[in-house]
């Protein structure tokens, strides 16, 4: 048993944390949030250069990591800094799907930061269900609508799920393909997504099925849990600092027991959250991986809500302002519950898998 990071992962964590602390402050990020593209091409290139994108792939795939803990290390730091660049969708999920399809040349471009991807799977009434696909594929022509597709506008290629007969398969659709319509919009917690419609749009079969998509989705859950954990660490750190410096009634408000105890509760829950992420990363390849992942996503969803709400409440009005760091961080935490299955979705799945 060893709960320490390997030397390589420790270096990755240190490098990324230092880089983001220096280059991704509140002011810089607020500029990025207000930009038309919703992310910074410079930051993206630098993340590639630092090896952050490569750390999401195994050596066989052309990277130098790719295990659950590599993913967790990267996303915890991205979450800590409230990064809005689409690392999760474009590089991790998109890239790993292409790797599974044997598209080595494209994976190399992903790792180098040269191309962007989007994963178009969810549909307007699929909610969080992975096997609910109404988009059809006939002779490799796709028709249907995909909902809240992250990074769709910036993507050079979209990975689109569709049903050919009864089976769900994945297709590669190029930017500007015939019949492809992308209606983009900003997201509350930063970045951009789009409603994507396909009308007889040509797609190249990737030879991947729903099973492959589920494998990529497991990585997404690890990443999303770790990202939320990082953001929660920032929220608790900001709150702790505020409680020790903000004075009312002639003393720091953290000296009031009513607040001190609530801060203590947050710190206790944060240890639970950290363990949940370790469970998710550590059991990623276990035969009961889905059970562990659902447990972690459910717990992160519950603790995330508590941390976001308590951090805002203990700050008071200042946390309600857009320009204060916590506002963005709290939105990242709560919106994490709206991706890859929310608290209730994973509770149900945990119950079903436990009974099985």
Partner 1 sequence: MDLSYSPEELAFQEEIRTFLQNDLPKDIAEKVRLDGDLTKDDMERWHAILNARGWLAQNWPKEFGGAEWPAVQRHIYDTEAAAAHAPRIVPFGFSMLGPVLQKFGSKEQQDHWLPRMLDGTDWWCQGYSEPGAGSDLASLKTKAVRDGDHYIVNGQKTWTTLGQFANMIFCLVRTDSDAKQQEGISFLLIDMDTPGVEVRPIILLDGCHEVNEVWFTDVKVPVENLVGEENKGWTYAKYLLTHERTGLGGVGSSEAGLKAVKRIAKAANHNGKPLIENPHFAARVAQVEIDLRAMATTNLRIISKAAAGEAPGLEASMLKVKGSILRQEINDLARRAVGPYAMPFASEAVEGANDRIPDPLDAGPVAGQYFNNRKLSIFGGSNEIQRGIIAKVTMSGGA
Note the residues at the interface with partner 1 (CB under 8 A).
122, 124-129, 132, 147-148, 183-189, 193, 195, 247-249, 253, 256, 258-259, 305, 309, 312-313, 316-317, 319-323, 327-328, 330-331, 334-335, 337-339, 342-344, 347-348
Task: Report the distance separating Cα 220 and Cα 226, nearest Å.
Answer: 10
Q: Among residues 103 and 145, whose Cβ is nearest to partner 1?
A: 145
Least distance from C-beta 354 to partner 1, angstroms?
A: 15
Using the minimum distance from each CB to partner 1, give the nearer residue, 100 or 253: 253
- Shortest spacing between CB 133 and partner 1, in angstroms: 13
Q: Which conformational region is residue 250 in: left (phi greater than 0), alpha (psi within -120 to 50 degrees), or beta? A: left
Contacts (Cβ under 8 Å, ≥6 apart) of 320: 312, 327
| Rounded least distance, CB 175 to partner 1, Å | 19
Q: What is the end-to-end Cα distance of the chain in Å, rounded?
A: 29
Q: Are 247 and 34 in contact (CB under 8 A)?
A: no
| Measured distance CA(346)–CA(34) in Å, rounded | 33
Give the closest residue to 14 by CA, choosing from 67, 85, 76.
76
Residue pair 71/222 in contact (Cβ under 8 Å)? The answer is: yes
CB 119 within 8 A of CB 89: yes
* Minimum gap (Å) between residue 39 Cβ and partner 1: 14
Nearer to partner 1, 114 or 351 (CB): 351
Q: Is 229 exposed, middle or buried (0-12, 13-18, 19+ CB in 10 A)?
A: buried
| Least Å from the CB of residue 106 to partner 1 | 27
β partners of residue 149? 194
Please, what is the minimum distance in Å from the beta carbon of residue 330 to partner 1?
A: 7
User: Shortest distance, CB of residue 162 to partner 1, whole angstroms?
Assistant: 19
Of 55 and 87, the one with the shorter C-beta distance to partner 1 is 87
Q: Judged by CB, which is closer to partner 1: 109, or 135? A: 135
The answer to whether 180 and 53 are in contact (CB under 8 A) is no
Looking at the Cβ atoms of 278 and 333, the one nearer to partner 1 is 333
* The token pair that represents 204 in the structure block: 């190249």
* Residue 189 Cβ vs partner 1, minimum distance, rounded to whole Å: 7
Q: Are 179 and 145 in contact (CB under 8 A)?
A: no
Residue-by-residue DSSP string for 115-147: --EEEE---TTTTT-TT----EEETTEEEEEEE
Which lies closer to partner 1 via its Cβ, residue 18 or residue 127?
127
Smallest separation, CB 221 to partner 1 (Å): 15
193: part of which helix (H) or strand (E)? strand 192-202
* Nearer CB in complex with partner 1: 164/342: 342
Distance CA 182, CA 184 (A): 6
- Nearer to partner 1 among residue 209 and residue 321 (C-beta): 321
Please give the Cα distance from 73 to 278 (Å, whole number): 10
């Amino acid at each position: 048993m060893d709960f320490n990071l390997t030397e390589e992962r420790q270096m990755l964590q240190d490098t990324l944390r230092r880089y983001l602390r220096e280059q991704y402050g509140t002011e810089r990020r607020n500029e990025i949030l207000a930009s038309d593209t919703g992310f910074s091409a410079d930051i993206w290139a630098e993340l590639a250069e630092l090896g952050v994108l490569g750390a999401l792939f195994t050596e066989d795939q052309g990277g130098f990591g790719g295990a659950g803990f590599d993913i967790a290390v990267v996303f915890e730091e991205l979450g800590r800094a409230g990064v809005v660049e689409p690392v999760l969708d474009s590089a991790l999920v998109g890239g790993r799907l292409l790797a599974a399809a044997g598209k080595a040349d494209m994976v190399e471009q992903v790792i180098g930061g040269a191309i962007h991807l989007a994963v178009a799977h969810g549909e307007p009434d699929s909610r969080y269900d992975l096997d609910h696909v109404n988009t059809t594929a006939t002779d490799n022509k796709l028709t249907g609508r995909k909902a809240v597709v992250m990074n769709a506008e910036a993507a050079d290629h979209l990975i689109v799920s569709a049903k050919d007969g009864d089976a769900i398969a994945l297709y590669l659709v190029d930017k500007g393909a015939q019949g492809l319509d992308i209606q983009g919009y900003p997201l509350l917690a930063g970045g951009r997504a789009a409603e994507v419609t396909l009308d007889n749009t040509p797609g190249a079969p990737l030879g991947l099925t729903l099973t492959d998509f589920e494998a990529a989705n497991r990585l997404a859950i690890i990443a999303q849990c770790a990202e939320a954990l990082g953001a929660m660490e920032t929220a608790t750190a900001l709150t702790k600092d505020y409680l020790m410096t903000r004075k009312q009634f002639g003393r720091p408000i953290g000296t009031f027991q009513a607040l001190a105890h609530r801060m203590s509760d947050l710190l206790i829950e944060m240890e639970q959250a950290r363990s949940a992420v370790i469970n998710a990363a550590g059991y990623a390849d276990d035969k009961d991986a889905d059970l562990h992942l659902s447990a972690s996503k459910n717990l992160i969803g519950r603790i995330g809500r508590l941390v976001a709400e308590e951090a805002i409440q203990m700050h008071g009005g200042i946390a309600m302002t857009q320009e204060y760091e916590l506002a963005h961080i709290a939105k990242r935490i709560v919106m994490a519950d709206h991706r890859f299955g929310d608290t209730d979705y994973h509770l149900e799945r945990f119950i079903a898998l436990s009974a099985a």
